[in-house]
C-alpha cells in the first residue's frame, strides 16, 4: 500500500478507496499519544495500516490493547529487528480490517519486564480455530492478561449458553434427536445503532459465540428492523445490543421493530425464548445526575427489556449497560 504523511491523510485516502484494496499506511510517534486518534481510525474500520513507533521507554501498550478490543483488526507489538519484517508483512496482508503495529526500538524496551511482544491475528481464529493472540515471550503484562481472560470468559459464557442436550450430543451421529438438538443450537444477535457502537458490540458477541462452539451458520447477526417480529417467539436465544438516539429513542434501524413489538403485546408469548440485553447510552448526554438523564439513559434498552419480560421472555443473564 501507500505510506501517507499523517494519520488523517491515510484515513482520507483509505475512505475514498476500495475497502478491499491495499492498505493506506501511516507512521505515528508513540510519544504523540496515539490512543485517541487510533480509536477514531478503528471505529472507522477500513483498510488502514498504522505503525506506532516507540523510540524511548517506558513504552505504553495501551493503544494496542485498546485496538484488540475491535473484533476485526490485526494488532502486534514487536521490537525492531526481532521478526518485525514478518509482522509487518502479516499486517499488510490482513484484509479483514485495519492493522495496528507497535514497533519499539530495542533500547526502548530493554530491561522492561512489562513489555510484551505479541501478535493478534483474527485469521488464526477463522482458519485454525486457534487463539488470535500469541505472545512471543513468556511474560505477558497484566493489562493484556486481563484482556485475554475477559475474552476467554466471554467464550465460556457462549459455551455455557448452548442448550445442554445439544452440547452433550455433539458428534453422536445424525439421528433425529441429534438433528433436532442441532436445530435448536442457534443464536440470533440483534442490534440497533446509529453510529456503530452497538453494531460493533453485536459483532463482537457473534464472534465470541462462534469461538464458543456455535457453528458459523448458527450465529445470525443483524439490525432489529431486519428481523421479523413474528419470528421472535420461535427463537431459542436472542442477544440484543441496543443504543440510544434522540432523547431516549431507538436508533433509526430499530424503530420499526419496536413499534411492531408493541402492537403485539397481549397476543404473543416469549416463554420459549431466552434473551440477553446490552444497552448503550451516555449518562452525560442530558446532564449527569439530572432527572432527564435518569429518564433517558439507555431508555430503549430498558424499555425493550421490560416488554420482553412482560411477554414471558427469560433473561439469560442480568442486563448490562455501556455508559
Ligand X SMILES: Cc1cc2nc3c(=O)[nH]c(=O)nc-3n(C[C@H](O)[C@H](O)[C@H](O)COP(=O)(O)O)c2cc1C
| DSSP code for 22 | P
C-alpha triplet 316, 318, 321: angle, nearest 5°? 125
Say if residues 208 and 155 touch (Cβ distance below 8 Å): yes
Cβ 220 to ligand X shortest distance, Å: 19
CA dist 279 and 297 (Å) reads 9
SS3 label, residue 171: coil
Nearer to ligand X, 143 or 303 (CB): 303
Instruction: Between 49 and 248, name the residue whose CB sits nearer to ligand X.
Output: 248
C-beta of 214: minimal distance to ligand X in Å?
23
Nearer to ligand X, 264 or 286 (CB): 286
Q: What is the largest CA-CA distance in the chain?
A: 69
Residue 132 or 241 having the CB closest to ligand X: 241
- What is the enclosing helix (H) or strand (E) of 313? none
Q: Which residues bind ligand X (CB under 6 A)?
A: 193-199, 243-248, 251, 280-282, 285-286, 296-298
Q: Which residue number has the CB closest to ligand X?
A: 281
- Cβ proximity to ligand X: between 22 and 222 the closer is 222
Rounded least distance, CB 194 to ligand X, Å: 4
Q: How far is the CB of 278 from ligand X (least distance, A)?
A: 11
Rounded CA-CA distance 135/117 in Å is 6
Residues forming beta bridges with residue 2, ordered by sequence position: 24
Residues 6+ apart with CB under 8 A from 142: none
Q: Tell me how far, at minimum, the Cβ of 222 lies from ligand X, in Å.
A: 14
Amino acid at each position: 500500500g501507500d505510506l501517507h504523511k499523517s494519520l488523517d491523510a491515510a484515513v482520507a485516502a483509505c475512505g475514498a478507496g476500495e475497502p478491499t484494496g491495499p492498505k493506506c499506511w501511516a507512521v505515528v510517534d508513540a510519544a504523540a499519544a496515539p490512543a485517541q486518534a487510533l480509536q477514531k481510525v478503528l471505529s472507522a474500520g477500513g483498510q488502514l495500516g498504522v505503525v506506532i513507533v516507540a523510540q524511548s521507554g517506558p513504552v505504553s501498550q495501551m493503544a494496542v490493547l485498546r485496538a484488540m478490543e475491535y473484533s476485526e483488526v490485526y494488532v502486534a507489538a514487536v521490537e525492531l529487528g526481532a521478526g518485525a519484517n514478518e509482522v509487518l508483512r502479516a499486517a499488510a496482508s490482513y484484509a479483514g480490517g485495519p492493522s495496528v503495529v507497535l514497533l519499539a526500538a530495542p533500547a526502548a524496551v530493554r530491561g522492561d519486564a512489562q513489555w510484551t511482544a505479541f501478535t493478534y491475528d483474527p485469521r488464526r481464529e477463522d482458519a485454525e480455530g486457534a487463539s488470535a493472540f500469541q505472545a512471543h515471550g513468556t511474560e505477558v503484562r497484566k493489562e493484556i492478561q486481563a484482556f485475554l481472560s475477559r475474552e476467554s470468559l466471554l467464550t465460556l459464557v457462549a459455551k455455557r449458553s448452548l442448550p445442554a442436550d445439544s452440547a452433550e450430543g455433539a458428534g453422536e451421529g445424525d439421528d433425529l434427536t441429534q438433528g433436532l438438538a442441532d436445530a435448536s443450537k442457534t443464536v440470533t444477535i440483534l442490534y440497533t445503532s446509529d453510529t456503530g457502537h452497538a453494531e460493533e458490540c453485536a459483532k463482537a458477541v457473534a464472534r465470541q459465540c462462534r469461538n464458543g462452539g456455535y457453528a458459523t451458520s448458527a450465529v445470525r447477526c443483524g439490525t432489529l428492523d431486519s428481523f421479523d417480529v413474528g419470528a421472535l417467539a420461535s427463537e431459542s436465544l436472542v442477544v440484543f445490543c441496543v443504543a440510544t438516539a434522540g432523547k431516549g429513542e431507538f436508533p433509526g434501524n430499530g424503530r420499526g421493530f419496536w413499534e411492531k413489538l408493541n402492537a403485539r403485546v397481549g397476543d404473543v408469548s416469549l416463554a420459549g425464548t431466552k434473551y440477553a440485553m446490552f444497552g448503550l447510552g451516555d449518562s452525560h448526554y442530558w446532564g449527569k445526575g439530572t432527572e432527564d438523564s435518569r429518564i433517558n439513559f439507555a431508555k430503549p434498552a430498558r424499555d425493550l427489556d421490560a416488554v420482553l419480560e412482560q411477554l414471558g421472555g427469560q433473561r439469560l443473564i442480568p442486563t448490562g449497560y455501556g455508559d
